[in-house]
Structure 1
Amino acid sequence: MSAPNIVWTRIDERLLHGQIRITWGKHTEANLILVANDEAAEGPNAAFMQAGMKASAGGEYAVRFFSIQKTIEVIHKASPKQRVFILCNTPTDVARLVEGGVPITHCNVGNMHFHEGRRQIAKTVSVNQQDIDAFERMVKLGVSCTVQNTPEQTPVNVLELAQVGA
Structure 2
Amino acid sequence: MMDIRLLRIDDRLIHGQVATTWSKFTGISRIIVVSDDAASHPLQKILLTQAAPPEVKSHVVSIRKLNSIAGHALMNDVKVMLLFTNPKDVMRVHQSGLVFNSVNIGGMKYTEGKQMVTHSVSVDQTDINAFKYLNDKGIELEIRKVPGDRSQKIMDVLKKGNFL
- Give, in angstroms, the shift of residue 142 of structure 1: 2.2
Mapping 1:121-140, distance limit 5 Å: 121-140=117-136
- Give, in angstroms, the shift of residue 79 of structure 1: 2.8
| Counterpart residue identity of residue 32, structure 2 | L
Matched, 1:52 2:47: yes
Match for residue 33 of structure 1 among 31, 34, 49: 31
Matched, 1:104 2:106: no
Structure 2 unmatched runs, 5+: none
Distance in structure 2 (CA, Å) of the matches to 1:8 and 1:117:
28
Q: Which residue of 2 aligns with 1:162?
A: 158
| Counterpart residue identity of residue 108, structure 1 | N
CA contact (8 A) 1:120 1:165 kept: no
Q: Which residue of 1 aligns with 2:112?
A: 116
Match for residue 149 of structure 1 among 137, 145, 151: 145
Distance in structure 2 (CA, Å) of the matches to 1:73 and 1:141:
22
- Give, in angstroms, the shift of residue 70 of structure 1: 1.5
Structure 1 unmatched runs, 5+: none
Distance in structure 1 (CA, Å) of the matches to 2:31 and 2:146:
17
| Counterpart residue identity of residue 33, structure 2 | V
The CA RMSD measured in Å over matched residues stands at 1.2
| Counterpart residue identity of residue 88, structure 1 | F
4+ runs deviating over 4 angstroms: none
Distance in structure 2 (CA, Å) of the matches to 1:129 and 1:159:
13
- Give, in angstroms, the shift of residue 66 of structure 1: 1.2
User: TM-score under structure 1 normalisation?
Assistant: 0.92
- Give, in angstroms, the shift of residue 60 of structure 1: 2.2
